[in-house]
Chain A
Amino acid sequence: MKTVLLIAADHIRALLHHRLLVGVMLISVAITAIFSVSLTKIGSVTVRATEAQRKARNADSNAPITAEERQKQETIIQGMQTGFQAFFYETASFGGSLVALFIFSSAVASEIRLGTIRVTLSKPVSRLQYLAGKFLGGIAVMAAYAIVASLALVIFAQANELTMSPTMKFAPLLMFSRQLMLGSLAMLLSLFVHPFVASILAFFAGNGFYGTSNPLYYVLPSYSSFNVFGQMLKGTLLSGRNVLFLELYAADFVVLMLVLAWWRFRTKELV
């Protein structure tokens, strides 16, 4: 286990020194912040415009707001709040997916390409320990990303006095699970093809891109159920039971991908 942790720590260190990765992470955070602030502003303007319309319709602007009007206004505000949160989540999730694809597809493949794996595996490190360490390092970075994204969402919601949607409490966990699924598939594919190709294949392999009528729907990995953005827009409320099943599905998927990756990696030429 100590060896696995050493490889994981080394992988984290490598990732933190990777300019492109840090760049993608910063851009992801920046885009999230810029769009969220802009949308909030647009939201405020819309609410003010609705209020102005109401006043214009009523000659007596001091007339109290009716119950029907209040309900209508609350529905608009609630819809917009849900939209902001979902958008915030989706942007962070998309950025995280890119980061996950990069981290996991290059974890082993780049070390083979650079030749650094040869010295590492000349030490008493088995290929299983190496692969496990690389995956664990990736998990740690993605967990940190999910925590930062969650904190940012809470701060964003607090700053804008938004009411947190109940579905949002599961969002970080589902985002994290989706990214690990993507990552494990990308890692497996990167042992067969170039990491960039592996990332593209992993990203588009999700059945979210196909309808349920397509037979591939039942074969390809399902990322769409982990998409809180879609769930919130549809008004679906995720129960704890739903989330548990999704997590079990994700765990199964990741373990299967890792077993296949190990099967491939144990005889892979490392030169």
Chain B
Amino acid sequence: MDAIRTENLAKSYRSGWTGSKGAPALHGLNLEVKVGEVFGFLGPNGAGKTTSIHLILNLMSPSSGRAELFGRPATDAKVHRRVGYLPESVNLHTYYRGRGLLEFYAALGGMPRARRAGRIDELLRLVKLEDAGDKPVAKYSKGMLQRLGFAQALLHDPDLLILDEPTSNLDPVGRKEFRDILVELKRLGKTIFISSHVLSEVESVCDRVAILQKGELKRVGSLQELSAPKSTRLTLQSLPAALIEAVVAASAEVTFQRTQVVIKCPGESSSREVQQILHEGNVAVAKIETETESLEEIFFSTIQPPPLS
């Protein structure tokens, strides 16, 4: 079963007096997020990431298509018992104290009263708000609100976490702490759907990513699937002088080091050609390393328009 599944999910925002004019925000999104995976949802501003999340959580109605959570329609509120959500801009009731607000959400989430106090203390410690639990939420800084928002999302130990720009208000220390929590949640087998602009953050924890642009899903897959090999490094004990010219002719770069020779091939064809030359020359290759594109490179190559011819 998928934790999240969308089928041709589309959304147009109504405008004009009659609401007939529609600005399309999402075009037929088909997405499957497996139980237990960490899924990165990427895209530039206005790509439709937050709209998708709102549709998945039934905060908006789709123009067409459907969204499911754990095999049930997103409109079924009961399935939200298994979901924790941290919105992009964390707006929480300011008339509570931190602990009181978590108590309210815990009760709404159906957590038994006897378990609440212990769980709230545990989460306040986890998000480093143990000293601010009795402060009014109105006096929290943006970073503190983000932490409290994260605590409320984790409160009922959900199977699926939907995080929309979760570190936008956190300082570098907070981001590191947050990443550590995500790694721990991943170890515990939680499904995490994370929309973020911080590509390094997504790259370090996500199993798969989807890239959205102008409401269209451009690419989806694991980093290995999405990244094209950029270059290959072949490490040898030695390279006979007779082969150097042939290797260089295959667009490779040869570097002689003290105890070894490194050949850097810029592309897949160059790598194949060099390996053929070495094979024919009976030269043993000690190590082959393939350098792949980083998530940032994948992201920019996906969203950038093709160069004008």
With an 8 A cutoff between CB atoms, is B17 at the interface? no
Q: Which residue of B lies closest to A270 (CB)?
A: B59
Q: Interface on chain A toward B: helix, strand, loop, or mixed SS?
A: helix
With an 8 A cutoff between CB atoms, is A10 at the interface? yes
Neighbour of B77 across the interface among A7, A119, A125, A267, CB < 8 A: A125
With an 8 A cutoff between CB atoms, is A169 at the interface? no
B60 partner residues in chain A, CB cutoff 8 A: 269-271
A123 partner residues in chain B, CB cutoff 8 A: 80, 105, 108-109
Given A121-B59, A269-B61, does the pair A3, B108 have CB atoms closer than 8 Å? yes
1/0 per residue A85-116: CB within 8 Å of B?
00000000000000000000000000000111
Neighbour of B104 across the interface among A6, A17, A114, A269, CB < 8 A: A6
- B-facing residues in A115-136 (Cβ within 8 Å): 115-116, 118-127, 129
B59 partner residues in chain A, CB cutoff 8 A: 118, 121-122, 269-271
Given A125-B80, A271-B54, does the pair A118, B104 have CB atoms closer than 8 Å? no
B110 partner residues in chain A, CB cutoff 8 A: 124
- B91/A122 in contact, CB under 8 A: no
A124 partner residues in chain B, CB cutoff 8 A: 77-81, 108-110
- Give the size of the chain B interface in residues (CB under 8 angstroms): 31
A116 partner residues in chain B, CB cutoff 8 A: 91-93
B96 partner residues in chain A, CB cutoff 8 A: 13
B108 partner residues in chain A, CB cutoff 8 A: 3, 6-7, 120, 123-125
- A118/B109 in contact, CB under 8 A: no
Neighbour of A119 across the interface among B78, B92, B95, CB < 8 A: B92
Q: Which residue of B lies closest to A118 (CB)?
A: B87
With an 8 A cutoff between CB atoms, is A147 at the interface? no
B78 partner residues in chain A, CB cutoff 8 A: 124
1/0 per residue B51-83: CB within 8 Å of A?
000100111110000000000000001111101
Q: A126 vs B74: C-alpha distance in the bound complex, in angstroms?
A: 11
- Tell me the minimal C-beta distance from B144 to chain A in angstroms: 16
- B152/A119 in contact, CB under 8 A: yes
Q: A10 vs B78: C-alpha distance in the bound complex, in angstroms?
A: 20
- A122/B93 in contact, CB under 8 A: no
B54 partner residues in chain A, CB cutoff 8 A: 118, 270-271
B149 partner residues in chain A, CB cutoff 8 A: 119
1/0 per residue B81-112: CB within 8 Å of A?
10111010111110110000000110111100
**Chain A residues within 8 Å of B, Cβ to Cβ:** 3, 6-7, 10, 13-14, 17, 114-116, 118-127, 129, 267, 269-271
A-B contact pairs, 30 of them (CB 8 A): A6-B104, A14-B93, A115-B87, A116-B91, A116-B92, A118-B87, A118-B91, A119-B92, A119-B149, A120-B108, A121-B58, A121-B77, A122-B57, A122-B59, A122-B80, A122-B83, A122-B162, A123-B105, A123-B108, A123-B109, A124-B77, A124-B79, A125-B77, A125-B80, A127-B77, A129-B77, A267-B61, A269-B59, A269-B60, A270-B59
> Which 5 pairs show the lowest CB-CB distances between chains A and B?
A115-B91, A17-B95, A122-B85, A126-B77, A123-B108
